[in-house]
Amino acid sequence: MKLSDRLQLIADEIHCGEIMADIGTDHGFLPLYLLETKKCPKVIMADISSGSLAKAEENCKLAKPEGDYELRLGNGIDILEDGEVDVVAIAGMGGNLIADILEWNMAKSRSIKRYILQPRRHVGKLRHWLYCNGFEIVKESLVEEGKFICEILTVESGPAENGKEAEYSAAFDYPDSLLDHVNPMTAVYLHRKLELENMILDNINKNSQNASEEGILCKARIARIENLISRLEG
């Protein structure tokens, strides 16, 4: 089975021998690949949608993968027992939703060693939540899929006392850690984001009644991006 570049990067972040769960599995391509390549001895495919889980089940019947797999219908990581898996992948959802999934049962969330998270939007909000709740982002990856560049966070669990109080700021939207794992997409990503933020600022100045406050926040994001670009290309 050949994965998309996005799913392949997620698969590459999973260690050989780990038991994994794919939350929001949809077609089940990622866990099926991990079984076919014998990277994972067991996978759990979970989805809140019975229709999506049925697609994953059909693909399992077609692929007839060797190894242990389960399909579970349910919400988020509620379908898992504490410590049942080594790593959980949550991909293709909003960052706020991913944070809500992890916050729903913190004891269970902390019982899982690692997460591979790929938020579709609001990645800064997710970074902020992880920081405040003691989860450590150990790697930031970028991968292109169609017209989008996706952010993929490799995260390790930690105790509650590792959390730190912090106000949400532009530093969570565009952190220094983006330069710790530079790849061919880093410069493209930053320049696209700079163009987008400048468009947002232009619209704020033209149309918003709260241009002053919103503009200040947008200018802070632009300054962060410009700083990162300068350091990357300097």
Q: What angle do CA 158, 161, 165 make, to 5 degrees?
A: 105
The predicted structure's pLDDT at residue 180: 93
**CB neighbours of residue 124 within 10 Å:** 20
| Residues whose CB falls within 8 Å of the CB of residue 57, separated by 6 or more in sequence, listed in order | 28, 71
Q: Which residue's entry shows tokens 């300097």?
A: 234
pLDDT at 43 over 90: yes
Per-residue model confidence (pLDDT) at position 208: 63
Q: Cα separation of 28 and 131, whole Å?
A: 30
Burial profile 136-154: b = 16 or more Cβ within 10 angstroms, e = fewer: ebeebbbbeeeeebbbbbb
Write out pLDDT tens, residues 161-196.
999 999 999 999 999 999 998 998 999 999 999 999
pLDDT at 48 over 90: yes
Is the predicted pLDDT of residue 199 greater than 80, yes or no? yes
- pTM comes to 0.93
The CA distance from 36 to 198, in Å, is 45
3-class SS of residue 23:
strand
Between 34 and 213, the higher pLDDT residue: 34
pLDDT band at 129 (very low <50, low <70, confident <90, very high): very high
